[in-house]
Structure 1
Amino acid sequence: MKWCLEITDVPQNTDFPILGYQIMDNGVRRGPFYFRVEDLITALSSEPDFIGEAEEELDKHSTPTLPLGTIRYSANPLKTKHRVTMAIDKKMWEIRYEGDDEFYCIGFPRLIVQYLVEQSLGQYRVTEMRLFAVRDDNKPINDETQLYRFPFPNVNKESGIVCWGQNPRLEIKSLVELERAFYWFVSAPFNEDWGVRTTLGIPRFKTLIQRIKEQPFNDEWLIPANRNFADLF
């Protein structure tokens, strides 16, 4: 086995700027893993007796394998609580409205989604999911990036916390499965809980659907959340 480490001048995750992959002897590639600079220095300067010990040291300091789209990750020292923050590109999604059989295709803005996950006995449980919008300006997300309120229902417009209703807390086998969590959110029927917030001034989501369906989301509809990306941490 060997390690492949990548360092870019503009890392997606500034807390863990070094990207690493394990290349197994049979060619299988594991990762990505994320490292802090100081962790890599510690691992390489520990003067292990065998190369295997260096690999174990890297494993100890690396992040778990993270889902695609992760832009920031942190955990408590015991790695029993994880915070995974991801960016989701602007996209058209098919949704349902509660009580309707019809599917509606509506545009969603570029999004920031943050998960708080607790780990116990090999299982991960999503204890909180937060959603905010950002402008689709082709710029990387940084601490100064302005956040906007999630425009559609089922999300608290102040805290950004997703309301799952009667659904149980999500349980996953690895953090990589967080790639699917937003799909689970979108596939659940929308209603009027927590309302809508757009500059269009339409108070009911069912009415808003008829106004905006079959077209990309216009960033001019976004309402500022009066906070920046750094305020999520």
Structure 2
Amino acid sequence: MKLIIELDDERMATDNLVQVSEEQNGVLSHFHMTVDELRKVINASVEDLQMDTGTLPSNAIRYRETDEGVHVFCEVPKKQWVINFRNDAIRVGFPKMLFHYFCKQNKQTYNVSLKHIWAVKDEPIHNDTKMCHFPYSHVDRDGKVCMGGNRLPDIQSLDQLVTYHSFFVNSPFDTDYGAKTTLRLTLEELYLDTFNEKEFNDDILVPTRETFQETVKSM
């Protein structure tokens, strides 16, 4: 549907009317409405489109809005996480991680997709920070995340993303995509021995070819 509004100073002064042309499916129709009626129609349309994104999550380090949606980059601290590996709960050391979420507006909520995960050394992230491959499963060498058919819940405000990394950590881990470290070890060996109840060693991270700034610009 396409609306064309014509404002005639003389007609508005005498009758307080504006002419509106509506084109829908190739059919053009004309009608008049008062200025107050037009204002109410426009305000109602704007209210339908507007959405309060709320505050950003406290762990967000970069935010970028496009015509398609919102890109939010959140850091997750280096720590030992309890994961489910082959139906056993084990504690494994993880590096500091950077999560890339894409949020698409759907009326008064956002549909959330976890698009990428990278690892970084346990230091403050700057534009020139070297990005590294996530060393474990679920993530390929381009950083793209695969969680099977699992879908993240919708959110009403972007600050709800602050805990969304837990959906990834709590999903079953396996050996898909293989280990991505400088060690010649399998994922099973990393989970059950090398980093089982141990802090992750940043020295074995494998850098990508991009910095943080270059990565964000490529999204």
Q: TM-score, length-normalised on structure 1?
A: 0.66
Which ranges of structure 1 fall in alignment gaps of 5 or more residues?
1-59
1:81 to 2:69 alignment: yes
Partner residue in 2 for 1:207 = 189
Question: Structure 1 residue runs of 4+, over 3 Å off?
Answer: none
Which ranges of structure 2 fall in alignment gaps of 5 or more residues?
1-49
Query: Which letter maps to 1:146?
Result: K
Aligned residue for 2:91, secondary structure, equals: strand
Q: TM-score, length-normalised on structure 2?
A: 0.70
CA distance in 2, matches of 1:191, 1:142: 32
State the identity as a percent.
Answer: 33
Query: Which letter maps to 1:147?
Result: M
Deviations 1:65-85 (A, max 9, x none): 1111111112136xx611111
Query: Which letter maps to 2:130?
Result: Q
Query: Which letter maps to 2:100?
Result: Q
Aligned CA RMSD, in angstroms, stands at 1.9
Partner residue in 1 for 2:115 = 129
Relative contact order, CA 8 A, sep 6+: which one is greater? 2
1:72 to 2:62 alignment: yes
Alpha carbons of 1:179 and 1:122: their partners in 2 closer, same or farther (altered >3 Å)? Answer: same
Partner residue in 1 for 2:211 = 228
1:86 shift after superposition: 1.3
1:207 shift after superposition: 2.5
1:63 shift after superposition: 6.6
Alpha carbons of 1:81 and 1:128: their partners in 2 closer, same or farther (altered >3 Å)? Answer: same
Q: How many residues align?
A: 165
2:139 to 149, 155, 179: 155
Listed as ranges, the matches of 1:43-122 within 5 Å are: 64-76=54-66, 81-98=69-86, 100=87, 102-122=88-108
Higher mean C-alpha displacement, 115-124 vs 165-174? 165-174
1:201 shift after superposition: 1.2
Listed as ranges, the matches of 1:140-151 within 5 Å are: 140-151=124-135
Answer whether contact 1:154 1:195 (CA < 8 A) is retained: no
